[in-house]
A and B are shown apart, each in its own frame.
Chain A
Amino acid sequence: MNARAAIAVESPPLPANSLWLLLGGFLGAVLLNAHHTALWCLPLALLAIAWRARGLRAPLRLPARFLRIGVALLLTLAVLASFHTLNGIDAGSSLLVAMATLKLSETSRRRDWLIILAAALFLLLAACLDGQALWRLPLYAAELWLLCTASYALGTDFEVARTATLLRRSGLSLAAALPFALLLFFFVPRLPGSFWVLPQRHEAFTGLGDEMSPGSISQLTQSGDAALRVRFDAAPPPAAERYWRGPVLHVFDGYTWRRQHAQVDRVPRLQFQGQAYSYAITLEPNQHNVLIALELPRGLPDELPNTFATFDYQLIAPAPSERAVSYRLQSYPQHRSLDPLSPAARRLDLQLPPNRNPRSAELAASLRQQAGSDVGLVDAVLEYLRRGGFTYTLEPPLLNLDSVDDLLFRTRAGFCGHYASAFVALMRAGGVPARVVTGYLGGSWNRYGGYLYITQADAHAWAEVWLEAQGWVRVDPTAVVAPGRLTQGLDELLPGAGGNGRGLMSSSWVVNAVQAWQGLNAWWQDEFIGFSFARQLALLERLGFRQHDLRAFALLLAASAGIWLALIAWGLRPRSRSPAGDGLSRSWRALERKLRRAAEPRAPHEGTMAYAERVGRARPELSSTLTALARRYARLRYGPAAGAAEFEQFQRAVRLLRVQPRRPRPH
């Protein structure tokens, strides 16, 4: 007999429920990433998971090695073809899904399954990196629980535990880990800066853009997506002054307005007057690099370095933001330009395409003649819009290439973009420098969160004209066509507009619920997702650490983690199991407790009858009672099923028993 061979350990098969849990966890991780991985990833993974799940029931033939290597190369190429890179969350998670799917085809040992587990955890991380909306949080938590349970099931490879037990254990473990995770969350310093370069994502966001072609839109989709949230230090400005300035459009080709990216002038000086408003803005991701601000901001936000102001008072961030950014500003709705308009800026804002919109040009010229002055022209054009039978609609007819002519003389219907475009074109034709400003107007007050909530549906366009006496002056032509637009939201102005169920929103409890949910989202966004190094420093200061150095972080972390570890150790301390048993056992133990005064306690190996006999020998006066009790106990325990009455009798007999203490032995 070869003894060495006998020493070899054969590894037993993995418990089936651990593999089911793991496959489920992997499936969940793939689904959580389905929206941003390559299109082919989800069906591929689903097929592989179904195939592997079938293999848990019946033996499976795994594909040959060279085949797997070939498929791995193919899948890598497919990811490259889909994203043109392997860097970044989308490409990375697609590659992870592909490779883990492939790994599924060769999972047999515990190690292989652990790799699948690691891949699923990374996919969960990718999902967290990609989507941080509050509603996804329960999904992430459930997925984490599932994966944690799978790792508990896989952790020991030769024991089978019930799935319910595993779920309970991993749930307790996660609950215990939560305080520690929050400690690290608050006190691990968020070192600013990226360790590796991330590719820009190319996704279309709704909202403001770099250009505006009102004539090309036949139906303005009302998007309830958040655009920005504003928290004022004091009272918010009145509704008529809630103009949120975004991209300014200068260049017009007769149909489309575009931004002017070059700085044609230095930033003109402004004289700020009247009431100042200090506020913090949280700006959702968007596709332009303009930071939205209440008109007109003074200074630059401290939170975002490398931000600058342009000659037309836009605040420009270095790049469009992929995630929500927060910054503080101070704005003055009342202001005056101090510098004259530079020739370059005047040229830019008088520019009109030649030979386009001829009828508008004629109209502007005639109005100009009647009005005499720039101010008179503004009033005349507004008057024209007011009296010309123009209507406000979100479903305007399409316009031809001479969009201003088409609007003014044919369709006479449109939304803010149409009127701002037409107004600015008429101004320029009349010789008054003018430009289109896009941004947001208004916003709804969320009383749960205490902030102004501005959605993409609040997007607006208005005009600015240069008047020699006052400088740049805001004119909102939409206000004369639809006066209500200024003070009310779009919903009130256009009952049933969009037809996407917004009518339901009028019910007050729905409004309340929506506002509460928005408030919760805002809290989540501000307090949790937006938690930053600056906020950490503020937290430290509040905790009494005046000096912001890493030592304070280390001290806090070490102390709190130590306390947590001690608590965990205490929670997991060994606890003796009290002897289990039914009422009969409890009753018998009560008897034994009484007899402790009479004789030595019952030894573990001693039967109840023998014990009763022994105590009876030591205390003859108890002998007959004890024998009777022991017999009755045996009968109740081992005999034919006895009634409740007999058990109660036994209990009463035990209670009645009186045992005198042992008398000292006579010498």
Chain B
Amino acid sequence: MATKSPMRSSGPFRFLSEPRAALAAALAHWARARQGDDTPPLTLQARRIYILPTGAGVAAAALLFVMLLAGMNYNNSLALLLCFMLCGVTLVSMHECHGMLSGLKLLRAEADDSYAGRLGELQLCFENPHSRARSALQLRAGGCLPGRFQLPPAATQLVRLKYQAGARGRQRIERLELSSTAPLGLFRAWTWLHLPLEAIVYPAPGGTRPLPVRSGDPRQGERRSRVGGEEEWAGLRPLQESDSPRSVAWKVYARGGPLLVAQYDAPAGMHRLLAFASLQSLPLEQRLSQLAQWVLDCERLGDTYRLDLPQQALPVGHGIAQQRACLEALALYGT
């Protein structure tokens, strides 16, 4: 499956079996057609902000109606004025609720990659350029844990939203919903964001097969390449973020020197070969899971490794870039 949508597929008679879902889908379709796609940075205009009373708002309306009846029944001016004041406050709160979103800026939106079945992270950066605080903002997407935040006047906020990663492959976050029920909880204003958010979902790591043993690779035997390993002393280099603490030259550091990494040359080809072909007895998805598990294991052990997929062989390597390249290849395998 190449692209996944949080919306379920819609049949022609869906409105009979699931009227609410069908209505929501129709609304979503209408809103998308009306608004078009969004690319940050963008400012939320009033015309794309929708507002409806909440359950509490409907209850409040009923309450106000009963108050009106009571005031009319007793023909009591003060009671009627009280009722009308409350109506006024309710309407003011409606405007305030709409104002929670209107004019808000979305500066940046990104989706981090994740493993199938786990929670991934979306990162959205909002800016409130105005003098009015925006409160009770809620950001939701299909299958996401809602993210709640607020924005003081003239402030910027990075919102992290956990999304539920589906099966491996590319996952699009079709639609985000930004809403607020502030200030009274009687109305809910919301807007739909159709952002180009795409995450790559890696296969869920798993499987019990032992890690392939380190071996030379006859095809690359003639050339020595410098890759991080622990075999032959090759000198010192500055510490990088991906280095394990075991490789730090602590003696140098103890003498007052900088944090350096002792670097060794691995004999070329002394790496683990993670081969798709070696897992023939497993079904496809389990094979990919096992390979993903091996990639992570190799990284944990600090070994160099090479991923071998049919029609796609990745070079020998080690480190974050290598891990990402391998996992991405696994995620997109066969697509």
Contacts and interface: CB of A to CB of B under 8 A. Distances in A.
A179 B81 CA distance: 11
B82 A144 contact: yes
Contact of A9 (B77, B146, B184): B146
Interface in B47-102: 56, 59, 63, 67, 69-89, 91-93, 95-96, 99, 102
A486 to B, nearest CB: 38
Given A577-B129, A577-B131, A181 B77 contact: no
A531 interface: yes
Given A7-B143, A195-B73, A577-B130, A155 B88 contact: no
A176 B146 contact: no
B70 A3 contact: no
Interface residues of B, number: 58
A532 B75 contact: yes
A181 B85 contact: yes
Interface string A602-631: 000000000000000000000000000000
Contacts of A530: 77
A177 B183 contact: no
Given A181-B85, A577-B153, A156 B78 contact: no
Nearest to B154: A577
A134 to B, nearest CB: 10
B135 A575 contact: no
B286 interface: no
A132 B76 contact: yes
B82 A576 contact: no
A565 B59 CA distance: 22
Contacts of B91: 177, 180, 565, 568
Contacts of B103: 574
B282 interface: no
A184 B71 CA distance: 13
A303 to B, nearest CB: 13
Interface in A85-129: 89, 114, 118, 121-122, 124-125, 128-129
Given A118-B63, A156-B183, A575-B131, A181 B119 contact: no
A125 B184 contact: no
Given A181-B81, A574-B102, A574-B130, A156 B92 contact: no
B136 interface: yes
Contact of B67 (A125, A179, A574, A575): A125
A185 interface: yes
A152 B74 contact: no
A191 interface: yes
A318 to B, nearest CB: 16
Contacts of A531: 77
Grouping DSSP codes into helix (H, G, I), strand (E, B) and loop, the A interface class, with mixed when no group exceeds half, is: helix
Given A122-B67, A129-B70, A129-B74, A178 B82 contact: no
Interface in A130-183: 132, 137, 140, 144, 148, 151-152, 154-159, 161, 169-170, 173-174, 176-182
Contacts of A504: none
B122 to A, nearest CB: 14
B132 A156 contact: no
A173 B96 CA distance: 10
A194 B96 CA distance: 36
Given A125-B82, A195-B72, A156 B182 contact: yes
Nearest to A192: B75
A131 to B, nearest CB: 9
A120 to B, nearest CB: 12
A192 B144 CA distance: 55
Contact of B119 (A3, A179, A573, A577): A3
B157 interface: no
Contacts of A528: 77-78
A656 interface: no
Contacts of A178: 85, 88
B76 A140 contact: no
B148 to A, nearest CB: 6
B224 interface: no
B74 A198 contact: yes
Nearest to A172: B92
A575 B88 contact: no
Contacts of B74: 89, 129, 194, 198
A569 interface: yes
Contact of A151 (B76, B143, B184): B184
B185 A154 contact: yes
B123 interface: no
B289 interface: no
A190 B79 CA distance: 12
Contacts of A184: 80, 84, 87-88
B196 interface: no
Contacts of B72: 190-191, 195
Contact of B95 (A122, A157, A568): A568
A568 B92 contact: yes
Interface in A549-580: 565, 568-569, 572-577, 579-580
Given A156-B183, A195-B73, A576 B129 contact: yes
B154 A180 contact: no
Nearest to B155: A577
B150 interface: yes
A188 interface: yes
A204 interface: no
A7 B84 contact: no
B136 A158 contact: yes
A149 to B, nearest CB: 11
A169 B100 CA distance: 14
B118 interface: yes
Contact of A575 (B130, B143, B184): B130
Given A125-B67, A125-B70, A154-B185, A176 B77 contact: no
Given A185-B81, A577-B154, A176 B185 contact: no
Contacts of A6: 119, 145, 162
A1 interface: yes
B73 A196 contact: yes
B86 A121 contact: yes
A156 B146 CA distance: 15
A532 B80 CA distance: 12
B103 to A, nearest CB: 4
B117 interface: yes
Contacts of A196: 73
B150 A159 contact: yes
Contact of B84 (A121, A137, A180, A569): A180
Contacts of A532: 75
Top 6 A-B pairs ranked by shortest CB distance? A177-B88, A181-B84, A156-B136, A574-B103, A180-B88, A577-B154
Given A173-B89, A532-B75, 12 more contacts: A3-B118, A125-B67, A129-B76, A140-B78, A140-B82, A152-B184, A155-B181, A159-B136, A188-B84, A190-B80, A574-B99, A580-B154
27 contacts: A3-B117, A3-B164, A118-B63, A128-B78, A129-B79, A140-B82, A148-B89, A151-B184, A155-B186, A156-B182, A157-B185, A158-B136, A174-B85, A176-B88, A177-B85, A177-B89, A180-B88, A181-B88, A184-B80, A184-B84, A184-B87, A184-B88, A572-B92, A572-B99, A573-B99, A577-B129, A579-B154
